Structure 1
């Protein structure tokens, strides 16, 4: 959105598309904007039938990308499909730039970088499913279809900050939470 000036926040997009798809039988795959298992719950509650979790598993052993050590910590390299590196390797047609030959003429809409190493994908998925199960339980939703009936409450930036741990220095990291992400 920053490069092209087009788009809406992911949750709004999911909600709007879900309303447009009602009665069509077309499933909605929520893709983007997910950082925590709670974001998966919200994406499904807004009308998604499933989610893409590429960035959530990007730091896993099984994920593509080189494992590197930086300042004594382990990371995996990661590139978005709109990054210059991905466009050079075949994704430029997704961004209407298939005829562009010179790298200097490409207009990337994504980045390449590094993400913290997370270990095996099985543990990451276990934590995501656990968070999803908790969120569905709090909403009284035994299924994704029932979760679509969840009610949303708009909160302020201060409310978002309050949702995270505060007034404490974390001394023992949880496998499903990192403020630095």
Structure 2
């Protein structure tokens, strides 16, 4: 697929995964993913900074996922508290694009953060210089960068040596969640990097589709994370297991490499949701609209 900037394409709502004959059972699949050579997750889900505080970060970690602490005054203290509570916790933090971004990231890494989410803005030259320094001088540090929606920006960012792009809409450029992820995953592979879909996740089935399109993980927010977070993560894990069994994928990488899509209509989307079923308990984050 071409890696030019995507101006039209397919979203998660416009595709279904093609089933395959398989002896892979949902309870036997492996849900782990590798964010970088040094950071692995048991569940390919990342909590967005907008929904994360210290308690959320701890809950995500306990469930095998990762949540990114937002930039702000309490960030350093939150990192220190999380590290003191459990040295095994994988801690992710957001860093704003600013002249002191490199120093901020170094301080957070020293406090115990192992994942930096570098938040891009319109000062791309500043970001590129900071990212080069981080990638070259602060190992081992897993660096995620986003939001990215333009191919030209994605290529410049990947060339700095970062670990993963967070694909999400930016001013003037939408993201077609399937088509853009497919294109950017192909581009990222040229740099031995990866893609995280950072927008558009409403159902656990969307996570399956995003990974099938080439993402190594998805970023989630309160569109899907409602009520008890542990219940939500349990539902997401169940949806992933079901989808992977449906497509015959035993691992996340196999789902990324072998899954196929078929385009559907709006009517087909409605038909694909559960219907004519009496529920004894509502799912914590499921709604048709």
The two structures have a TM-score, normalised by structure 2, of 0.38
CA distance 1:56–1:132, change in 2 (3 Å): farther
Normalized per residue, the structure richer in strand is 2
Cα gap change, 1:174 to 1:48, in 2 (>3 Å)? same
Alignment pair present for 1:28 and 2:231 = no
8 Å CA contact 1:14, 1:43 repeated in 2: yes
Match of 2:235 in 1: 127
Q: Distance in 1 between matches of 2:223 and 2:169?
A: 22
2:207, 2:218 within 8 Å by CA — same for their partners in 1?
yes
Cross-structure match for 1:41: 208
Higher relative contact order at CA 8 Å, sep ≥6: structure 1 or structure 2? 2
Q: Distance in 2 between matches of 1:144 and 1:2?
A: 25
Specify whether residues 128 and 16 from structure 1 end up closer, same or farther in structure 2 by C-alpha distance, changes over 3 A only. Answer: same
Name the Cα RMSD after superposition: 2.6
* 1:1-181 matched pairs, under 5 angstroms: 4-56=171-223, 58-59=225-226, 118=227, 120-148=228-256, 149-166=258-275, 168=276, 172-175=280-283, 178-179=286-287, 181=289
Answer whether contact 1:11 1:46 (CA < 8 A) is retained.
Answer: yes
Deviation of 1:22 after TM superposition, in Å, equals 2.2
**How far did 1:165 drift?**
3.4
> Distance between the aligned counterparts of 1:27 and 1:2, measured in 2?
17
| Deviation of 1:7 (Å) | 1.7
TM-score (norm 1): 0.58
Structure 2: runs of 5+ lacking an equivalent: 1-167
Mapped to 2, the partners of 1:136 and 1:46 lie a distance apart of 13
Greater helix proportion: 2
* Displacement after TM superposition at 1:25 (Å): 1.7
Q: Distance in 2 between matches of 1:4 and 1:14?
A: 18
**Any stretches of 5+ residues in structure 1 without a counterpart?**
60-117
Q: Decide whether the 8 Å contact of 2:247 with 2:259 is kept in 1.
A: yes
How many residue pairs get aligned? The number is 121
Instruction: Tell me how far apart the structure 2 counterparts of residues 146 and 2 of structure 1 sit (CA, whole Å).
Output: 27
The alignment partner of 1:141 has SS state of coil
| Alignment CA distance shift 1:36-1:2 (3 Å) | closer
Q: Cα offset for 1:24? A: 2.2
CA distance in 2, matches of 1:141, 1:171: 28
Q: Contact 1:36–1:176 (CA<8 Å) still a contact in 2?
A: no
